[in-house]
C-alpha cells in the first residue's frame, strides 16, 4: 500500500515538473511584447496584493474571480478579442498563474502562465506601481 502511494506521489510530481517546463517564458521577450502591445499581463493575485504593488502594465483578474467556467469566460472575453495578442498570467510565485491559465484554457482561451516569481519580473525590468491606495490597510499580511 505504501509503495503504491509513493508511486502515485512520484508520478504526480513528475507530471507537474514536466508541465512546468511547458510554461517557460523568456522575460526579456515578454517585456518587449508587452511594450509593443503584442501581449497582455494579467495579475491573478488578490486585490489586497494588487493594492500593495503590481506591475504597471498589468490588469487585475484575481484567481478567486474566475473560479467557475462562467466567470473565467466572462473575465477573459475583453482580453481575447484580438487573436494576435498573447495573454500571460502572473502571481507572486507562479502557482496561481498556472491555475488561472488552466481555468482560461477550459473556456478555450489561449493563455500562458508565467511560472517565474513576481520578484523575477521586477528583476527583469518590469516597472512596478506601489501603494495605489495609501489609505488601504490590508487585514492580512501579504508577504
Three cell numbers written together for 6: 509513493
Kind and range of the H or E element at 41?
A: strand 39-43
Say whether pLDDT at 110 is over 50.
yes
pLDDT of residue 131: 81
- CA 118 to CA 116: how far, in whole Å? 7
pLDDT of residue 18: 37
Say whether pLDDT at 128 is over 80.
yes
Spatial contact of 66 and 85, defined as CB atoms under 8 Å apart: no
Spatial contact of 32 and 106, defined as CB atoms under 8 Å apart: no
pLDDT of residue 113: 97
pLDDT of residue 141: 61
The whole-model pTM stands at 0.78
With a pLDDT cut of 70, the percent of the chain lying above it is 76
pLDDT of residue 65: 95
What is 25-130's CATH number?
A: 3.40.250.10
User: Would you list the DSSP string of 69-105?
Assistant: HHHHHHHHTTTSSSTTSEEEEE-SSSHHHHHHHHHHH
The string of pLDDT tens digits covering residues 3-62 is: 544 443 444 444 444 344 345 799 999 999 999 999 999 999 999 999 999 999 999 999
The string of pLDDT tens digits covering residues 60-83 is: 999 999 989 999 999 999 999 999
- CA 122 to CA 105: how far, in whole Å? 26
Amino acid at each position: 500500500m505504501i509503495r503504491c502511494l509513493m508511486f502515485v506521489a512520484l508520478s504526480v510530481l513528475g507530471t507537474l515538473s514536466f508541465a512546468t517546463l511547458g510554461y517557460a517564458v523568456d522575460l526579456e521577450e515578454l517585456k518587449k511584447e508587452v511594450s509593443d502591445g503584442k501581449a497582455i499581463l494579467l495579475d491573478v493575485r488578490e486585490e489586497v496584493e494588487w493594492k500593495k504593488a503590481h506591475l504597471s502594465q498589468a490588469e487585475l483578474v484575481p484567481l478567486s474571480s474566475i473560479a467557475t467556467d462562467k466567470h473565467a469566460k466572462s473575465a477573459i472575453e475583453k482580453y481575447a478579442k484580438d487573436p494576435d495578442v498573447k495573454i500571460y498570467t502572473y502571481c507572486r510565485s507562479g502557482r496561481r498563474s498556472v491555475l488561472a491559465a488552466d481555468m482560461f484554457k477550459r473556456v478555450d482561451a489561449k493563455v500562458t502562465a508565467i511560472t517565474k516569481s513576481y520578484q523575477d519580473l521586477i528583476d527583469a525590468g518590469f516597472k512596478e506601481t506601489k501603494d495605489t491606495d495609501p489609505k488601504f490597510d490590508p487585514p492580512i499580511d501579504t508577504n
